[in-house]
Amino acid sequence: MLETLIEALTFRAGYNAALVAVGTTLLGIAAGSTGTFIFLRRRALISDAVAHATLPGVGLAFIALVALGGDGRNLPALVAGSAVSAWVGLLVVQWITRQTRLAEDAAIGAVLSVFFGLGIVLLTVIQNMSSGRQAGLEDFLLGAPAGMLLQDAIFVAVAGLVVLALVIALRRPMTLVAFDPAFATSVGISVHRTDLVMMALAMAITVVGLKLVGLILIVALLIIPPAAARFWSDKARNVVWIAGVVGGVSGFLGAGLSASAPAIPTGPIIVLVCFCLFAMSMAFAPRRGVIAALARQRQFRQRVRRRQGLLALAREEEILDPATLALLRREGLIRTDGVATDAGRAQAARARRDERRWEVARATHQDEAAVDRHDLLRPIEEVLTRDEIAEIDARLGPPEEAAT
């Protein structure tokens, strides 16, 4: 299995597998970077409606091709048909949200289910046509790249590159609209038109990906990479290229895995690889990741415990919380029997002094932001200037700890 995987990943698993790998990698890169803008605009699921709305177009294009005397399996023609119906679906979503009081999610769900239902009706019509028995249009549901021809691969590659180029060219207005539509309007960008451009790019990805990944799962490639990339950066520019990398890696690894063993469908395995990358990002990303957040939380709790413990020592109160006792003991501030060490006494006195300084600061600087920022944990030297502290100390009188 591993050998065949390596073979597939180095494009030696056969001509067709190599075609598929190139196609899915390019598709993943283009989908990830395009999806970023829709994700940041918080409209990720519109792409689900658009994807499902491609099906009636595929069916109608097939019927039209057969009526004109063709065999109906012309990929560019089917893709063109799917693009038309996806565009109609998108316009219907926009129309319902603008013209009625229904919310966008209801419009998305309605378009998704009704267009898909119509597509299924057309598929059964095609199955009943004499020339449609072997149409294989069901392949568009989940994708079936195994039968991909060179011209199909070139089509996917060119379309993916065109979309990517457009994303790069239009990234500024799209970023502005995604983050701050009001500001975008004020500098003369049409939010409505930019939204349509974003969705048109997503639609292009969808129709190009139909043959490879299928219309039910293509939406995953638009949503999951940006969601994963968002964990790694707060800058839109970085999220775009990280999402592209996540999408590309998913496409490449997924195609490799699919070629390396039997009965691994390409579309689903790409989505699952993508989900693994998402899960890893959610767990391990610095700052926004779960583990980083847990570590921060733990650190915060320890600071609270240390402060409460030191104040209790200073007031000579008994400490009952076992976690606080363990912490103070670990840091050598108290002995095992709970009595403060010299270091502990010194730190406790400092904590006590800072606490009293804060009391004075709060009384004298009531309206100052610096005092409001006091979260009881930061050393006072980080918040107030040396002069301010000296003034406070003058009011407090000589520090007590000097006596001991």
Partner 1 sequence: MSGAEFIQISLAPLVIGVLSAIACALPGNFLILRRQALIGDAISHVVLPGIVVGFLVSGAVSTWPMMIGAAGAAIVAVVLIETVRRVGRIESGAAMGVVFTSMFAFGVLLLEQSDTSGVHLDVEHALYGNLESLIWLDGTGWAALLDPAALAGLPAELPRIAFVAAAIALLTLVFWRPLKLSTFDEGYARTVGLPTSLIGFTLVVVAAIAAVAAFDAVGSIIVIAMFICPPAAARLMTDRLERQVLWSVVFAALSAVSGYVLAGYGPLWLGGEHAISAAGMIAVTAGVIMALACLFGPHRKASGQRS
Residues that bind partner 1 (CB under 8 A): 39, 42-45, 48, 96, 99-103, 105-106, 108-110, 112-121, 123-125, 128, 138, 141-142, 216-217, 219-220, 223-224, 226-227, 230-231, 263-265, 267-269, 271-272, 274-275, 278, 282, 288, 290, 293
Q: How far is CA 71 from the centre of its chain?
A: 41
Query: Please, what is the minimum distance in Å from the beta carbon of residue 15 to partner 1?
Result: 23
In 3-state terms the chain splits into helix, strand, coil percentages (rounded to 5) of 75, 0, 25
Helix ranges restricted to H, 12-149 = 15-40, 46-52, 54-67, 75-99, 104-128, 139-142
With respect to partner 1, which residue has the nearer C-beta, 291 or 363? 291
Task: Tell me the backbone φ, ψ of residue 252, rounded to 5 degrees.
Answer: -70, -50
Query: Please, what is the minimum distance in Å from the beta carbon of residue 108 to partner 1?
Result: 6
Query: Please, what is the minimum distance in Å from the beta carbon of residue 200 to partner 1?
Result: 19
Query: Please, what is the minimum distance in Å from the beta carbon of residue 231 to partner 1?
Result: 7
With respect to partner 1, which residue has the nearer C-beta, 153 or 217? 217
- Dihedral of alpha carbons 210, 149, 33, 169, sign: negative
With respect to partner 1, which residue has the nearer C-beta, 24 or 324? 24
With respect to partner 1, which residue has the nearer C-beta, 100 or 151? 100
Query: Please, what is the minimum distance in Å from the beta carbon of residue 187 to partner 1?
Result: 25
Query: Please, what is the minimum distance in Å from the beta carbon of residue 267 to partner 1?
Result: 7
Give the whole-angstrom CA distance, residue 181 versus residue 212.
Answer: 34
Q: Token pair for residue 70?
A: 């063709």
Give the whole-angstrom CA distance, residue 359 versus residue 340.
Answer: 25
Output the CA angle 179-294-384, nearest 5 degrees: 75
